[in-house]
């Protein structure tokens, strides 16, 4: 597969101001004006009272308006800044003739991020190319199905590329995206007995896991050339081989209006095509008598995984929000 070339100019194109003002846009504009007006009025009222020596209870009486006004302004601007990338993305898709699927539900599929407890929601899938060499880029999230599920709030971006043969389940857990440099970003705990140490400095970039019955098969796939290629292109992302798919995972979803994201994914796809597909084209599981059958023995089809990891990133965001709220309230009341 040659390096994919797309026209990225729409991703940097200026959006005319009138594009913001659809029916929803006018409502947002009104919210910003009202919220800003409330803040200006309250500020002017407080200054006037101070200049003329009058006792002002504006903050005590109308302090809620500050919070409402700030909320409306921030909400309006947040919505506006999402308009720009969405408009650019639509033009990008049109210019390059890409296919987009925005259905929220989708068929089940193999892969560690797709088989978590809870309801999976797909937000966008972009298909590039045709046939077996087609790339799929997608964003999805996993919600909670019960109070015992710790996966709520997780969102992922992924790239999917087909392989010519089914392979044992292999996971590359990148160390670059670990929480605080120590805690793995994989959605489930993977049994350490399945970890394989590879030569060179590969272990500095990834923890590689494969079923204990298929360790030699994993070494067959990850030759020194393949290891070097993966380290140089995909060190920021978790990767997984499952059945005849090669997945690349990004925590937090994909920014579909970001040119860098596309180039990163295409660079990895080029490496997979050039190194991994070449290495696995004639793979056959020795535990299967007939080499012509595209089958992996049951013991190698899936890794042994444990409980869902607790989502400390979500907890950190909640704590940060609460601290910001308390600090803002303190400033309003005492400064």
In-domain check, residue 322:
no
In-domain check, residue 66:
yes
Summarised one tens digit per residue, pLDDT across range 221-278 is 999 989 999 999 999 999 999 999 999 999 888 889 899 999 999 999 998 888 888 8
| C-alpha closest to that of 73 among 44, 43, 39, 45 | 39
**Do the beta carbons of residue 193 and residue 199 sit within 8 Å?**
no
User: What pLDDT score was predicted for residue 13?
Assistant: 80
Distance CA 318, CA 18 (A): 36
User: What pLDDT score was predicted for residue 23?
Assistant: 47
Output phi, psi for 217, to 5 deg: -65, -40
According to DSSP H, which parts of 287-311 are helical?
298-301
297 shares a domain with 244: yes
Instruction: Please give the residue range of the domain that contains residue 253.
Output: 105-316
DSSP 88-155: HHHHHHHHHT-EEE--S------STTTSSSS-EEEEEEEEESSGGG-EEEEEEEE--SSTT---TTEE
Q: Which of 97, 124, 155 is the last residue of a domain?
A: 97
Distance CA 107, CA 62 (A): 52
31 shares a domain with 175: no
User: What pLDDT score was predicted for residue 310?
Assistant: 55
Summarised one tens digit per residue, pLDDT across range 199-214 is 888 999 999 999 999 9
pTM given for the model: 0.75
In-domain check, residue 325:
no
Parallel, antiparallel or unpaired: strands 154-174 and 305-308: unpaired
User: What pLDDT score was predicted for residue 261?
Assistant: 92
179 shares a domain with 162: yes
End-to-end Cα, the chain, rounded Å: 62
CA distances from 296 to 169, 218, 253, 280, 290 (A): 9, 13, 31, 13, 11
According to DSSP H, which parts of 181-311 are helical?
215-221, 224-234, 259-271, 277-280, 298-301
In-domain check, residue 329:
no
| C-alpha closest to that of 202 among 182, 219, 178, 180 | 219
In-domain check, residue 147:
yes
User: What pLDDT score was predicted for residue 150?
Assistant: 45
In-domain check, residue 4:
no
User: What pLDDT score was predicted for residue 273?
Assistant: 87
Parallel, antiparallel or unpaired: strands 99-101 and 154-174: unpaired
Q: How many CB atoms lie within 10 A of CB 301?
A: 18
77 shares a domain with 133: no
User: What pLDDT score was predicted for residue 217?
Assistant: 94
Distance CA 75, CA 63 (A): 19
Q: How many domains does the structure of the chain reveal?
A: 2
In-domain check, residue 321:
no
User: What pLDDT score was predicted for residue 176?
Assistant: 83
Which stretches in the chain have pLDDT values below 50?
Answer: 23, 51-53, 55, 145-152, 335
């Amino acid at each position: 597969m040659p390096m994919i070339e797309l026209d990225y100019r729409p991703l940097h194109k200026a959006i005319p101001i009138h594009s913001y003002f659809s029916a929803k846009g006018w409502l947002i504009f009104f919210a910003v004006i009202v919220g800003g007006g409330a803040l200006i009025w309250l500020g002017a009222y407080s200054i006037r009272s101070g200049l003329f020596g009058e006792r002002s209870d504006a903050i005590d009486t109308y302090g809620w308006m500050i919070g409402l006004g700030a909320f409306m302004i921030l909400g309006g601007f947040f919505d506006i800044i999402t308009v720009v990338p969405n408009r650019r993305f639509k033009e990008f898709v049109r210019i390059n003739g890409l296919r987009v699927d925005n259905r929220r539900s989708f068929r089940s599929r193999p892969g560690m991020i797709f088989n978590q407890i809870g309801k999976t929601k797909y937000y966008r899938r972009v298909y590039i190319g045709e046939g077996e060499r087609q790339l799929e880029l997608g964003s999805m999230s996993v919600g909670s199905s019960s109070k015992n599920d710790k996966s709520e709030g997780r969102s992922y971006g992924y790239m999917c590329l087909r392989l010519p043969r089914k392979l044992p389940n292999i996971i590359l857990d990148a160390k670059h995206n670990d929480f605080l440099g120590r805690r793995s970003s994989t959605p489930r705990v993977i049994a350490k007995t399945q970890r394989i140490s590879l030569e060179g400095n590969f272990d500095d970039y990834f923890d590689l896991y494969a079923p204990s019955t298929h360790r030699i098969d994993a070494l067959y796939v990850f030759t020194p050339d393949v290891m070097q290629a993966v380290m140089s292109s995909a060190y920021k992302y978790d990767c997984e081989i499952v059945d005849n798919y090669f997945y690349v995972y990004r925590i937090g979803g994909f920014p579909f209006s970001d040119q860098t994201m596309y180039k990163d994914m295409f660079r990895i796809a080029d490496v997979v095509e050039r190194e991994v597909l070449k290495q696995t084209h004639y793979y056959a599981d020795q535990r299967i008598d007939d080499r012509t059958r595209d089958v992996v023995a049951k013991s190698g089809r899936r890794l042994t995984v444990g409980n869902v990891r607790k989502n400390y990133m979500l907890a950190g965001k909640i704590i940060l929000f609460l601290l910001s709220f308390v600090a803002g309230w303190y400033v309003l009341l005492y400064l």
